[in-house]
Chain A
C-alpha cells in the first residue's frame, strides 16, 4: 500500500484516497476552435510515462481536497505532494501556493 502525503493531513494510507489521473492537463480555452483530433487528444490521450509522473489525488476519506503528487510509475516512489494553484495549473510552488493553501481563494482580496 502506498503512503501518500496529503498537503493538509500529512501521511495517510492509500485507501483514504482516490486517483484522479494525470495532472496538469489544461482545458483548451476555446474548444470550438479545435479539430476533432485535437479535442480527442485533450479528452483521451495521456502521456503514460515510465518514470516521473505528475498525477491528481483526492483525499476523499479525509479533508476531501484535490492535490498533486509526483510519483515514479516504475518504482511507485512518491517524490512529493503539492497544493494545486487556484488558477488550475498544477505548477504551484513557492509562497503564493503556500499562502493560498489550495483553497481556491487568493489572499488579499478576501473581503
Chain B
C-alpha cells in the first residue's frame, strides 16, 4: 500500500498521517530506472508514458442497492458504470471490474480524500473501499501504431469496432494481467498494471514497439 511508514515519512520530510492513501514521497512509481535509461526513437509511432501521481481505489458494493450506489456516486460526482467492461469519465475514471467491483483512478491526493469520503458515505452499507494507490501503475500507450504493438501480446480484438472508446477489459498483455482501456482518441490506451509487473510490462512494450519506433516519456 502507498501509506508510508512513519519512519520513512520522517526521513523524507513528509509528516506522518493516518489517512488512507497518503501520497508516496515524490509520487514514485518504481519505473524510474527504466525510463531513465531507455532510448526513444527519433520518429516514434508508439508513445509509451507512465503517469505519475495517480491514486487508485477499489470499491465494492451491492449493485442492486440503489441507496449505496447513489451515496457513492454523490461522492464521486459521476455515475458508476454498470455495463460490464466499460468506464465512466468525470473528475475521475471509474472502471468496471466485476458486477460488484469498481476501480477508481484519480489524482493521488484526490484519491486519498475520495477514499475517506467514500468510506464515510458507505458506512451503513455492505461495501468496501480499499486504497490501492501504491500497488498500481498507470501507463499510456498511444501513437499511430499503438494498436499493432499491443495486439502482439493481447488476445482481444482491439479494433475500435470491437473495443471502442469507453470500453475497458481486464486481460493479459504479454504475460501480465492488466486493465486495458480504450481512451477517447483513436489508438490511445490506458493500461493499469500491478506495480510489481510494471517493469516487465514496460520492457515487453519496448520490445513490441521497437519495430514501429518507440518513444518514452514520464507524465
Contacts and interface: CB of A to CB of B under 8 A. Distances in A.
Contacts of B85: 8-10
A61 B197 CA distance: 14
Nearest to A64: B98
Given A8-B84, A111-B67, A104 B172 contact: no
Interface in A48-86: 61-65
Given A9-B84, A9-B85, A12-B155, A103 B64 contact: yes
Interface residues of B, number: 22
B156 to A, nearest CB: 8
Contacts of B155: 12-13, 15-16
A90 to B, nearest CB: 17
B63 A62 contact: no
B107 interface: no
A101 B65 CA distance: 14
A105 interface: yes
Contacts of A63: 84, 97-99, 101, 170
Contacts of B84: 8-9, 63
Most buried by A among B64, B67, B68, B169: B64
B100 interface: yes
B68 A8 contact: no
A62 B62 contact: no
B171 A61 contact: yes
A61 B178 CA distance: 8
A12 B125 contact: no
Nearest to A99: B64
Given A12-B171, A16-B172, A62-B171, A110 B68 contact: yes
A41 to B, nearest CB: 34
Given A63-B98, A103-B99, A110 B171 contact: no
A26 to B, nearest CB: 23
Contacts of B169: 9, 62
21 contacts: A8-B98, A8-B99, A9-B169, A10-B85, A13-B172, A16-B155, A16-B171, A61-B171, A62-B169, A62-B170, A62-B171, A63-B84, A63-B101, A63-B170, A64-B98, A104-B100, A108-B64, A110-B64, A110-B67, A111-B66, A111-B125
Interface of A: 8-10, 12-13, 15-16, 61-65, 99-108, 110-111
